[in-house]
């Protein structure tokens, strides 16, 4: 597999090597050792999630308190999704910026998002099935959101705005500026300190 760091530090695009024959296709969509070589510590898997979405569904922008936050390894097993990583770490050199990876049934890529990053995706086809491996169990009290339509972030969904489908929770989420002002966001220093602990195996 090929692993490429995205423009947001601590996020990566993973492109597996596919082996096809008259029976179908085989691939390794996750390798703990290859990922560890790039992020500096193991991805401790605590939970696996799957969502099924119709075309136009937007899920996110979601993030969790640091520590422990929730690192994510995400792929689409059916359909197609445009997956976004958003830097919400106050003080980061790429704060407020984003990058994206197309997750689909053709290239079967995955995306890794380190602790403290914001995550969002839009389903580009009906029955898009997205699976997540995550480093910490879901904890509602530590989970937060940012409005994915925030013009200051400027996510480009590739689908007309009137065709996007958001949950009430995501519609009512604060903007990035509002989340920062209320102290919801992690800081670059917090994330770096926690990452150092993970790298040392603390």
Model confidence over 125-163: pLDDT tens digits? 999 999 999 999 999 999 999 999 999 999 999 999 999
Q: Any catalytic annotation for residue 132? A: yes
pTM of the model as a whole: 0.95
| Domains held by the chain: number | 1
Convert the pLDDT of each residue in 153-192 to its tens digit.
999 999 999 999 999 999 999 999 999 999 999 999 999 9
The pair of structure tokens assigned to 185 is: 């966001």
Measured between alpha carbons, how far is 119 from 51 in angstroms, rounded to an integer?
Answer: 14
103: CATH: 2.60.120.10
Query: Which member of 62, 73, 144, 194 is catalytic?
Result: 62
Residue 202 confidence class, pLDDT cut points 50, 70, 90: low
Check 12, 132, 144, 194 and give the catalytic one: 132
Spatial CB neighbours of 23, under 8 Å, sequence gap ≥ 6: none
Q: Catalytic site residue 62?
A: yes
Is residue 75 pLDDT above 70, yes or no? yes
Over 80: is that where the pLDDT of 194 sits?
Answer: yes
**Range of 164's domain?**
2-200
């Amino acid at each position: 597999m090929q692993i490429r760091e995205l423009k947001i530090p601590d996020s990566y695009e993973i492109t597996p090597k596919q082996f096809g024959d008259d029976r179908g296709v085989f691939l390794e969509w996750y390798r703990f050792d290859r990922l560890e070589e790039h992020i500096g510590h193991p991805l401790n898997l605590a939970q696996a999630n799957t969502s099924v979405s119709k075309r136009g569904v937007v899920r996110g922008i979601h993030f969790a308190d640091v520590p422990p936050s929730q690192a994510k390894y995400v792929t689409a097993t059916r359909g197609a999704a445009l997956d976004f990583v958003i830097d919400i770490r106050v003080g980061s050199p790429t704060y407020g910026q984003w990058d994206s990876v197309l997750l689909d049934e053709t290239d079967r890529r995955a995306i890794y998002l380190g602790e403290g990053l914001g995550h969002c995706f839009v389903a580009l086809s009906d029955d898009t099935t997205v699976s997540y491996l995550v480093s910490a169990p879901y904890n509602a009290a530590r989970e937060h959101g940012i409005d994915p339509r925030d013009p200051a972030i400027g996510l480009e969904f590739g689908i007309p705005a009137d065709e996007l489908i958001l949950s009430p929770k995501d519609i009512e989420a604060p903007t990035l500026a509002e989340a920062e002002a209320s102290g919801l966001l992690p800081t670059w220093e917090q994330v770096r300190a926690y990452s150092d602990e993970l790298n040392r195996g603390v």
